[in-house]
Amino acid sequence: MCGISGVVFKDKKLHPVGDYMTKMLDALQHRGPDSAGFAIYGGLGLEENEYLLNIEVKEAPGLLEQVKNTVITTTPIKKEEIIPSVEDYIIYRCKIALNSFNELKPLIMDIDEIKNVIVLNGSHSFEMIKDVGLVKDIAARYNTKDKMGTHAIGHTRFSTESIVDRYHAHPFQSYIIPDITVVHNGQITNYWKIRDPLERKGHIFETTNDTECIVHYIADKLNEGYHLEEALEQSVKDMDGPFSYIVGTPNGVGIAKDQLGLRPGVLAENDEVFAIASEEVALREVLDTHDVEQISPGEARAYTI
């Protein structure tokens, strides 16, 4: 079933977007109790060549030091933080600097080779927060209410395929171009038809989750020069199945809905805020919802800043 949401502040200034997204996702908690996630854009304040890594590490003697040593072989660690989690794991966060974005994915792959370690994400312009459990528990663990930003997307998950863990929680990310994320409700039934051409073009898939297929598809279209709304519109033509999904980019968000309209999606905006979600109850957390629009079957909408 899953719940998805997105919000953009039109003035491009920093707002407590983490708090707003927490409230939106909590309002959608009934749509998925397994895990929840946030992609909060605009608040990290990193230098041009800096990136933030989120790494899941099992609590075992020497393992965290092995992770740090692997990172250091590529780049010095500029800042680090340990976030306690659940199930005998911690989240190790570190800020690093790279010569180019193209070095990010190879470093992630090197870290992923360590047993009982997996990189949840690496990013420059957004902060990824995702974990198993309920929205309020995750929000407290990661202090999401104090996260500032310009826009964000989020997800509450009810798993119908693939396992329930932090890595398979949404948002999903592609490293074809920087900082593209997706949250998704539904199924892509022609998954392999979409995935095969992307793999032949060099996209690296880490899971068989169809949401990962969507984020690679959108990143590929944007890399080819499509505008966000054009990429969303083309996806509706190319993808089969019941779905609605939201894309986050460094410049805004967008939503697409399957041609039969089998998954929900609503929109509302005013002079200050553009917001989208699975249900109106989430929109009420960020703005007056007297003028709610239903996303039509086969429709794509985007707002960029």
User: 134 and 110: one domain?
Assistant: no
User: 140 and 216: one domain?
Assistant: yes
Q: pLDDT confidence of 161, banded at 50, 70, 90?
A: low
Q: pLDDT confidence of 243, banded at 50, 70, 90?
A: very high
pLDDT in tens, 73-108: 999 999 999 998 778 999 999 999 999 999 999 999
User: 8 and 73: one domain?
Assistant: no
Is residue 162 over pLDDT 80? no
User: 172 and 295: one domain?
Assistant: yes
User: 285 and 147: one domain?
Assistant: yes
User: 134 and 22: one domain?
Assistant: yes
Is residue 158 over pLDDT 90? no
User: 151 and 62: one domain?
Assistant: no
Residue where a domain stops, chosen among 124, 148, 170: 124
Residue 274: CB atoms within 10 A of its CB come to 23
User: 222 and 157: one domain?
Assistant: yes
Is residue 18 over pLDDT 90? yes
2, 119, 219, 275: the catalytic one is 2
User: 100 and 223: one domain?
Assistant: no
Higher pLDDT, 288 or 228: 228
User: 34 and 75: one domain?
Assistant: no
Is 213 marked active-site?
A: no
Residue where a domain stops, chosen among 124, 144, 168: 124
171 preceded by a cis bond (ω within 30 of 0): yes
Work out the average pLDDT over 4-25: 98
User: 84 and 211: one domain?
Assistant: no
Identify the pLDDT of residue 264. Answer: 94
Its pTM stands at 0.96
Average pLDDT, the chain: 95
pLDDT in tens, 24-68: 999 999 999 999 999 999 999 999 999 999 999 999 999 999 999
Residue where a domain stops, chosen among 124, 148, 177: 124
Complete edge-to-edge strand list for the sheet that includes strand 3-9: 126-132, 35-41, 151-157, 3-9, 273-277, 266-269, 293-294
Question: What is the spatial distance between Cα 38 and Cα 99, in angstroms, rounded to a whole number?
Answer: 27
| Strand extents, DSSP E, the chain | 3-9, 35-41, 50-58, 77-84, 89-97, 117-123, 126-132, 151-157, 172-174, 180-186, 243-249, 252-257, 266-269, 273-277, 293-294, 300-304
Name the residue type at position 239: M
Q: How many domains does the chain have?
A: 2
Domain that holds residue 113: 45-124
Q: What CATH code is carried by the domain that includes residue 90?
A: 3.30.70.260
pLDDT in tens, 251-269: 999 999 999 999 999 999 9
- Report the percent of the chain where pLDDT is more than 90: 92
Nearby residues of 204 by Cβ (< 8 Å), 6 or more positions away: 105, 175
